[in-house]
Structures are given as C-alpha cells and as structure tokens.
A and B are shown apart, each in its own frame.
Chain A
C-alpha cells in the first residue's frame, strides 16, 4: 500500500513536471540509412526550407543566411490587397510587438505582387504599419520564385487569380519555422485565436532551444 502511494505520487510528479510536449515537425519526411561509427542507423530527414534570395524593404538582399539561428514566421501578402491582408498584418503586428528586440525571432512577409511592391513601396508600407528596423522583413523578388517557395516549401497557396478581389489569391496562414528551417506550425493569421496560438508556440520553441543548450 505504501509502495502504491509512492508510485502514484511519482507518476503524478512525472506527468506534471516532465518536459512539455514538443511541437510537431510538419511536412513530408523520409528515413535514410546511414553509417555511424561502423554501425548502420536509421535517421529521419525532415522537410526543410531551402535557401532563397529576395530583396527586403531596405533594398538589401535577403537569403536563408539572414535567418540563421532564428525562429521565424513567414507569410504572404500584397500591399494593395483589400481582403484578408490588412487583417493578417494587424494580427502579425501583435506578434511583432510581443517579440520586438528579441534577436532569436524574426518575421518574413513575402509580397505576391512584386511588380507593384518594389522595395520602396514595401519600405513605406512597413513605416505606415509602424515597423522599423529589419526584425520584420518585407521582401520582393522574382514572382515565380515567390509563388514556388510559398506552395512547395511553406505549404501555403499563393498566386495570381484574376477573379479574386485585388487580383491575387493567397492563404491567410502564418507559418512557423524553427532554427533548423523545419516547419513547426501553421496558424490562421486572420483571427485572434490563431495568432495567440502562434505567440504561444514561438515561446515553446524558445523554451525547447533553451533546454537543449543546458
């Protein structure tokens, strides 16, 4: 009986005090066999965001290198969008305010209308949104490359559609990417609940990295 209560207390402590559940890794994965120290082991290879090259609101070239050692949130928008983008930007602004100045967190907003949204247009948009510096990057570049990275890598829809208001169709998702460039979460960027879940998950990721270092 005494032992039983010890076990009960122990399991209670374990379930409460144990490490919180890790965020899942999204996207396709494959297992590969490789040889480590003469032994064959099975390793899981996750979907990761490959390198890219865009230009930000300051006119500077931006690559995956700029996001090294950073947790970042990616999304797609265009500055003249009359539908969901203003709502998404209002929500993303909350994420920005929450993590402002923390250099392990960044935001990467891609325009899907690069012909109109030049670096100068993006710079003014950022300023009018109340964003300074480059913790939140607004990037433009080759149209096909932007659509491709949106659909194939961040797993969201982005593209031209003449029937949509404003001429483009795109997803309202915020995509959370970790320091290993793995997609760790997708959030509805048009509502408060999705945004709060994202803020919460960024903090969970920060915690994961903190625990790994120890």
Chain B
C-alpha cells in the first residue's frame, strides 16, 4: 500500500516535470484566454472563430497573419474596411480600452493556440512592444 502510494507520487512528480513550466504556463494562458474570448470576442467572431456571414470575419490564417496588427485591433478596434478570405468586411470593430496587457496576451495565446496551432504563449512583452507601435487612431 505504502509502496504504491510512493510510486503514484513519484509518477506524478515525473509527469509534472515532463510537462514543463512553459507548457503549464501556456495552458494557463489558454484557459484564461478562452474565457476572455467568450466575453469580448465570441459575440461577433463566434465561439468557433468562423465569424458570421459577411458581417464579421473569421479568424482565418490571413486575419491572423500579422500578430502586432491583431494586438492593435484588439486594443484600439478597427475602423476601416478589411479583406479576409477574399471578402471585404466594412463593419467597425469596437475598441477594448479596458483590457489589460496580460489579458490581451491571454486572448492572443488562446486565439493562436486554437486557430494558429501555436504552442508558445504570446508574452506581455510582445503586447507592450506592439501597442507602442500601433498606428494612432
């Protein structure tokens, strides 16, 4: 009995170590990002990220191509027409001035893990650097 407990515990520690700190952090960001996405993004872009008809674009590869730009869109909104998957979309996207840098990092991590198949987090430093260079509104 004692031995099996010991075995179980060491197996647990082994697995935890294997999973790695980065992976745990990635999963935390994805989990937080998921819930923030539901609150701030999913109404228009939908839970499955496919958008809605010709009203709101899908989070497709071309939409996600430029990370720094996506970060600016999330924070400041979009106020000009854009082409996604060959279709023009010209409905404004609202800004999210209240989102903190960490929250944007979590949303970015979730989006890129889900629709970009990325396994690394988008760091807060990346967010800060991108926001500094956003085109002025």
Q: Is A80 an interface residue (CB 8 A)?
A: yes
- Residues on B with C-beta less than 8 A from A129 are 52-55
Cα A84 to Cα B52 in complex, Å, equals: 13
Q: Is B91 an interface residue (CB 8 A)?
A: yes
Are B43 and A130 in contact, with the CB atoms below 8 A?
A: no
Interface of A is mostly: helix
Q: Contacts A86-B43, A86-B44, A90-B46 known; A80 to B92 CB distance under 8 Å?
A: yes
Interface of B is mostly: loop
A-B interface contact total, Cβ < 8 Å: 36
Q: Restricting to B76-94, which residues have a CB under 8 Å from any CB of A?
A: 91-92, 94
Are B53 and A128 in contact, with the CB atoms below 8 A?
A: yes
Residue of A nearest to B96 (CB): A82
Q: In the complex, how many residues of chain A place their beta carbon closer than 8 angstroms to a beta carbon of chain B?
A: 18
Are B43 and A84 in contact, with the CB atoms below 8 A?
A: yes
Which of B55, B56, B91, B94 has its CB near the most chain A CB atoms (within 10 A)? B55
- Residues on B with C-beta less than 8 A from A79 are 91
Q: Restricting to A61-118, which residues have a CB under 8 Å from any CB of B?
A: 79-80, 82-87, 89-90, 93
Residue of B nearest to A131 (CB): B53
Those 6 A-B pairs whose CB atoms lie nearest each other, nearest first: A128-B54, A128-B55, A130-B53, A86-B44, A82-B94, A86-B43
A–B Cβ pairs within 8 angstroms, 12 of them: A79-B91, A80-B92, A86-B43, A86-B46, A86-B56, A90-B46, A93-B53, A128-B53, A128-B54, A129-B55, A165-B94, A166-B94
Chain A positions near chain B (C-beta within 8 angstroms): 79-80, 82-87, 89-90, 93, 125, 127-130, 165-166
Chain B positions near chain A (C-beta within 8 angstroms): 43-44, 46, 52-56, 91-92, 94
